[in-house]
A and B are shown apart, each in its own frame.
Chain A
Amino acid sequence: QSALTQPASVSGSPGQSITISCTGTSSDVGSYNLVSWYQQHPGKAPKLMIYEGSKRPSGVSNRFSGSKSGNTASLTISGLQAEDEADYYCCSYAGGSTWVFGGGTKLTVL
């Protein structure tokens, strides 16, 4: 269960789009369509933003979208807003009813 690999930080200006990658292996991201993404503001609990790779929970802005190609999943945020500044974590099913998170990405809105 090695952690999924995410860039430590990404940044973008208001209105721009950014993409955060999440690279795993053929044993987790590559084998299952069970990647989820979480937004975490400082001092707060994580919030589910994307599940099953590309589905948005009710109430999550359609500016957030997810995709997957091979062993890499991606989260794209379009029309960046100041409130999007937060840490983002990916998570994947890793088989055997176990789960693995990514190392987290700090998004800065310039």
Chain B
Amino acid sequence: QVTLRESGPALVKPTQTLTLTCTFSGFSLSTSAMCVSWIRQPPGKALEWLARIDWDDDKYYSTSLKTRLTISKDTSKNQVVLTMTNMDPVDTATYYCARMMDHGDYRGAFDIWGQGTMVTVSS
């Protein structure tokens, strides 16, 4: 069974750096075609894709946020970490991690999602 779980602080102050961890099971990020993305959703608003890391350590970022984002993985721990610098109240959102496969079943879709973690940015 594939599962993902997000963890991180519930509250961060403006200008601080946010670090979120996605811990997953049921698949390996060293397997060809496996990818993990981060996606966020402000309260009452739409989903927004943030970043993706691939099995071969290729990394991709949202054009509008790429200067603030860093994604990395620890294959031995089955974890993906997202850091976002210079946090602002507009970054208040639920942050999800989700699996994607680059080819094969469910190609190009986020087939399994974590439950999400709510992050509030406030002083």
Q: Which residues of A contact B (CB under 8 A)?
A: 1, 3, 32, 34, 36, 38, 45-48, 51-52, 57, 89, 91, 93, 96-104
Residues of A within 8 A of B45 (CB): 104
A99 and B49 in contact, given A1-B63, A34-B107, A57-B106 (Cβ under 8 angstroms): yes
Q: Which residues of B contact A (CB under 8 A)?
A: 37, 39, 45-49, 52, 58, 60-64, 96, 106-111, 113-116
A48 to B60, CA, bound (A): 22
A59 to B63, CA, bound (A): 34
Q: Are B52 and A97 in contact (CB under 8 A)?
A: yes
5 closest residue pairs by CB, A with B: A51-B109, A34-B108, A36-B109, A97-B60, A99-B49
Kindly identify which residue among B46, B58, B116 contacts A3, using a CB–CB cutoff of 8 Å. Answer: B46
Residues of A within 8 A of B61 (CB): 98
B45 → chain A closest CB, angstroms = 8
A48 and B49 in contact, given A96-B60, A97-B60 (Cβ under 8 angstroms): no
A47 → chain B closest CB, angstroms = 8
Kindly identify which residue among B46, B52, B60, B114 contacts A89, using a CB–CB cutoff of 8 Å. Answer: B46
Residues of A within 8 A of B116 (CB): 45
Kindly identify which residue among B58, B64, B106, B114 contacts A45, using a CB–CB cutoff of 8 Å. Answer: B114
Q: Which residue on chain B has the smallest CB distance to residue A6?
A: B46
Can you name 26 A-B residue pairings with CB atoms under 8 Å?
Answer: A1-B63, A1-B64, A34-B107, A34-B108, A36-B109, A36-B110, A45-B114, A46-B47, A46-B113, A48-B109, A48-B110, A89-B46, A91-B109, A91-B110, A93-B108, A97-B60, A98-B49, A98-B61, A98-B62, A99-B37, A101-B46, A101-B47, A101-B48, A101-B49, A102-B46, A104-B47
A45 and B113 in contact, given A99-B49, A101-B46, A104-B47 (Cβ under 8 angstroms): yes
